[in-house]
Amino acid sequence: RTDRTIDLAVISGDGIGPEVVAQGLKVLTAVLPPDVALETHPYDLGAKRWHATGETLTDEELERLAGHDAILLGAIGDPGVPSGVLERGLLLKLRFAFDHFVNLRPSTLFPNTESPLAGRPEIDFVVVREGTEGPYVGNGGSIRKGTPHEVANEVSVNTAFGVERVVRDAFARAQARPRKKLTLVHKNNVLVHAGHLWKDTFDRVGREYPEVTTDYLHVDAATIFMVTDPARFDVIVTDNLFGDIITDLAAAVSGGIGLAASGNINPTRQFPSMFEPVHGSAPDIAGSGKADPTATVLSVALLLRHLGHEAEAARVEAAVTADLAERDAAPVRTTDEIGDALAARVAR
Ligand code: NAI
Ligand code: MG
């Protein structure tokens, strides 16, 4: 094996997960140049595994996963697993263990896709959401639980180190895009302590990127502009909680769940990054061939870009754009047919 091998861990998961991942791998195989080999290593994780063994992710599996170049995940979960078990025991565990401090969520309004926004505005932005801090780290507790005097604290964690590394990543991404614009989203008029750290870091790092135009929006104002003027956004950087909320809004305005891709990225490459469609396991359509694999294919493009295969990433994205442009004329296709069409478009 050469270092031109992609050593990929594959967590297909549950429901439509394996169906869409199969298409993602089909397109990945088709787009890679002949001198880059693909090695896939399947991991049996998710709801099926949990029902069978009660395990979510063992230490041994975590250690093995750490050795791969990247992880492709389909979707995990089914209605029989209590809420939180797989989120905490698998998804969040991976995110924290592999220090996925950049949660990357592109939003593009592709041809022939419906946006609930009137007039089909231009939408082409990417949210860089902090993934390891904020209010999501379990830094809290409650006392006098269940009584009228219950006290509950959920304290947001913001470290100079954690904020700076994600802000730096966002500036680098903005610098690499044609419009070179970065918007910080926070609420520094009210959350003054965390807000100060974010704004101060943003301004300081920004001086190293004179070509990048910067902007600041309070999160409430950002939700208004995402609906009234989404074209104003290029790259957005924000904390874990605000990012969670605005990325769902971003997916909603840009044509929905079958197209939204994401990356949980460790830009240092110390641990593998994980790429996945935003949607879940869709038990209502699993096995019917109705799942749209496009979100997974777009996640494969993010994976390729992260591993340095920029030309291939761009080819996958161009194939999706071209496929969608023709889709309204095309008959309704199965998961497999869409995968075949995309693979054919990217093949050399
Ligand atoms: P969901 O995203 O699985 O489904 C919501 C709706 O969108 C359904 O009507 C489904 O048919 C449709 N849909 C989703 N993906 C689609 C695709 N690729 N093509 C066409 N239609 C698609 O969300 P839901 O129903 O809330 O959750 C189902 C299960 O998935 C739950 O067990 C949930 O915990 C899990 N889940 C897992 C995620 C992950 O693995 N990261 C993320 C979200 C939910
Ligand atoms: Mg969410």
Residue 148 lies in a domain: yes
Q: Which residues contact 273 (CB under 8 A, 6 or more apart)?
A: 70, 71, 98, 100, 263, 264, 265, 266, 303, 306
Please confirm, yes or no, whether 209 is among the known catalytic residues: no
Domain count, the chain: 2
Q: Which residue has the higher pLDDT, 2 or 313?
A: 313
288-303 average pLDDT score: 97
Please confirm, yes or no, whether 234 is among the known catalytic residues: no
Return the minimum-mean-pLDDT range out of 9-18, 130-139, 150-159, 250-259.
250-259
176-195 tens-digit pLDDT: 999 999 999 999 999 999 99
- Ligand in nearest proximity to the CA of 338: 1
| pLDDT classification of 138: cutoffs 50, 70, 90 | confident
What spacing in Å lies between the alpha carbon of 248 and ligand 1's midpoint? 13
| pLDDT classification of 1: cutoffs 50, 70, 90 | very low
Residue 110 lies in a domain: no
Q: 177 and 155, same structural domain?
A: yes
Residue 105 lies in a domain: no
Last residue of a domain, one of 219, 254, 289: 254
**Quick count: other Cβ atoms within 10 Å of Cβ 139?**
13
ipTM field: 0.97
**Angstrom distances, CA of residue 204 to CA of 79, 127, 196, 199, 214:** 47, 20, 12, 9, 12
Distance CA 309, CA 13 (A): 26
Residue 109 lies in a domain: no
Q: Does residue 85 line the site of ligand 1, with CB under 6 A?
A: no
Residue 106 lies in a domain: no
Q: 221 and 188, same structural domain?
A: yes
Q: 229 and 126, same structural domain?
A: yes
Last residue of a domain, one of 189, 223, 254: 254
Question: What residues pair up with 41 in beta bridges, in sequence order?
Answer: 9
- CATH number where 11 lies: 3.40.718.10
What spacing in Å lies between the alpha carbon of 279 and ligand 2's midpoint? 10
Query: Does the pLDDT value for residue 328 go beyond 90?
Result: no
Q: Does residue 130 line the site of ligand 1, with CB under 6 A?
A: no
Please confirm, yes or no, whether 328 is among the known catalytic residues: no
Mark the residues whose beta carbon lies below 5 A from ion ligand 2.
244
Q: If we measure between CA atoms, which residue out of 108, 140, 142 comes closest to residue 122?
A: 108
Q: Looking at ligand 1, which residue's alpha carbon is closest to its atom 4? A: 282
The closest-lying atom of ligand 1 relative to the alpha carbon of residue 17 is 40
Long-range contact list for 112-118, CB < 8 A, 24+ apart? 112/324, 112/325, 112/327, 112/328, 113/254, 113/255, 113/256, 113/259, 113/324, 114/255, 114/256, 115/253, 115/254, 115/255, 116/252, 116/253, 117/227, 117/230, 117/253
Please confirm, yes or no, whether 187 is among the known catalytic residues: yes
Q: 30 and 19, same structural domain?
A: yes
67-109 tens-digit pLDDT: 999 999 999 999 999 999 999 899 999 999 999 999 999 999 9
